[in-house]
Structure 1
Amino acid sequence: MEVDSVAGRDVVVNAQDMELEYDDSVEVMGAYDPATSALRPSFPALSAQDAAGGKNDFRRVRVPAHRYTPLKNDWPNIMKPIVEHLHLQIRMNTKTRCIELKNSEHTLDAGALQKGADFVQAYMMGFEVQDAVALLRLEDLFIDTFEVNDVKMLKGDHLSRAIGRVAGQDGKTKYAVENATRTRIVLADQKIHILGSFANIKLARDAICSLIMGAPPGKVYNKMRTVASRMNERF
């Protein structure tokens, strides 16, 4: 019990009654925790749209001319993981020739939009849909891109032969590097794209650089066998 002075008069205030009135007037969201005899706050998870302040973020991925026909054939396979797993909205804008991705009210993961953009961008680089989908399922996958001229300045027939050494007859050398390092490689003219984990990308890049510099494929094969055996022992 406390005594307060109002306009020169003493007024008796019951603190316990005030506390009870306060408890009745305030609605507390939470669950009772018997261990601490207190209410634990319980708030619903924010959707990606709410986390962005109610705005609909979007991404645009440009479609190269040589990927139009493959995109038409693989469109259902591209759309399914983006809509069903990431809960994003996707459409092909034929005027700007871009694929547009946008958050929706059902999108829960704040990073889903960037994952979807990386997945579509990987497909535009030339990776197969089943390989690019790994970017959505695994967190430690990256794409490394470099050009042949970044390794060695080559022109004319020398450049063509270097690209041929990386690919091999019927793609044999490329497949050998992929299987040994557990990566996926795309040869797009002078550009080389590698999809995989950080350590595996480094192994594949070293092998490709050796081929560009003029190393015999047989020597690279032997090194890849050693690398593959070490990786099998590690796992």
Structure 2
Amino acid sequence: MPAPTALLRAPEKLAEDEVITDAPQDTTEPVLELGASNIEPAPSNEVQLSTDTSMDIDTEGRPKFAPSTDTTTIHRIETRRVPVPPHRMTPLKASWSKIYPPLVEHLKLQVRMNIKSKAVELRTSKYTTDSGALQKGEDFVKAFTLGFEIDDAIALLRLDDLYIETFEIKDVKTLSGDHLSRAIGRIAGQNGKTKFAIENASRTRVVLADSKIHILGAFQNIRIARESIVSLILGAPPGKVYGNLRTVASRMKERF
């Protein structure tokens, strides 16, 4: 019986520098240690649910939760510039010591008066906590530039439902020359009597700046003052306007 070809194969000639060593064969299987740091467990798609369903409940049956941790907030620096008319620069310089304390101490803003560009510049900082502080500061400075007193403008910082409305006499009726002057005179009255009556009855503040009229107050109060001023512009006698203001004032007292 002929021998298999695999058994008759001649051994290959080894190189002169090649040495064969018989390494001991380890037949023992490797053992995995659970605490080994170099062994990573196989990923598993199974979701392990916590079996701890206990919850702290107070005496009234409401759950107790741990207080949330403070997260770091990113402060974005924003800048606003309020232009100042030339005729309001002198009052601004004279009243600057009363203008900047509410902005810096109450709103935590950075403020400066730029004389070269004739503007008041406002900027937020890392100490600013109110998100609407910049808008309130701009409204406060703008109210002063329009001609309102500082005490009236500060109310914009402390109350949230105050607004400023501006319109011109020409928006109501096209007047010019002496007719425009008489309309302004009817709104102001003798020594400002009519303007003060409108302010006290409607709980607003009115500024007459040539043919422009600025009203500071709540939404409903601004509407009452605007209707009275429009009636005077259209030629209504002041006595009739006073009567309407008395009626409105009595209704407002009953409401509050």
TM-score normalised to structure 2 length: 0.75
Match of 1:42 in 2: 69
Task: Specify which of 76, 79, 83 is matched with residue 97 of structure 2.
Answer: 76
Match of 2:143 in 1: 122
Q: Which has the higher strand share?
A: 1
Task: Select the structure of larger CA radius of gyration.
Answer: 2
Q: Do structure 1's residue 143 and structure 2's residue 164 form an aligned pair?
A: yes
TM-score normalised to structure 1 length: 0.82
Match of 1:196 in 2: 217
Q: Do structure 1's residue 89 and structure 2's residue 116 form an aligned pair?
A: no
- Matching of residues 24-35 of structure 1 within 5 Å: 34-35=56-57
Q: Quote the Cα distance in structure 2 between the aligned partners of 1:63 and 1:55.
A: 26
Residue type matched to 1:67 in 2? Answer: R
Q: Quote the Cα distance in structure 1 between the aligned partners of 2:183 and 2:243.
A: 19
3-state secondary structure, aligned to 1:100: strand
Distance apart, 1:80 and its partner CA:
0.9
Q: Quote the Cα distance in structure 2 between the aligned partners of 1:162 and 1:11.
A: 98
Distance apart, 1:43 and its partner CA:
1.9
In structure 1, the gaps of 5 or more residues are 1-7, 14-32
Q: Quote the Cα distance in structure 1 between the aligned partners of 2:171 and 2:31.
A: 89
Q: Quote the Cα distance in structure 2 between the aligned partners of 1:38 and 1:156.
A: 73
**CA separation of 1:210 and 1:94: change in aligned 2, threshold 3 A:** same
Match of 2:131 in 1: 110
The ranges of structure 1 where at least 4 consecutive aligned residues each deviate by more than 4 angstroms after the TM superposition are 8-13
3-state secondary structure, aligned to 1:140: coil
Q: Do structure 1's residue 161 and structure 2's residue 188 form an aligned pair?
A: no
In structure 2, the gaps of 5 or more residues are 1-29, 36-54, 58-62
Distance apart, 1:61 and its partner CA:
0.4
Residue type matched to 2:183 in 1? Answer: A
What is the RMSD of the two structures over their aligned residues, measured on CA atoms? 1.9
Match of 2:250 in 1: 229
Q: Quote the Cα distance in structure 1 between the aligned partners of 2:78 and 2:124.
A: 6
Q: Quote the Cα distance in structure 2 between the aligned partners of 1:208 and 1:164.
A: 11
Q: Quote the Cα distance in structure 2 between the aligned partners of 1:225 and 1:37.
A: 57
Q: Do structure 1's residue 210 and structure 2's residue 231 form an aligned pair?
A: yes
Q: Which has the higher helix share?
A: 1
Match of 1:62 in 2: 83
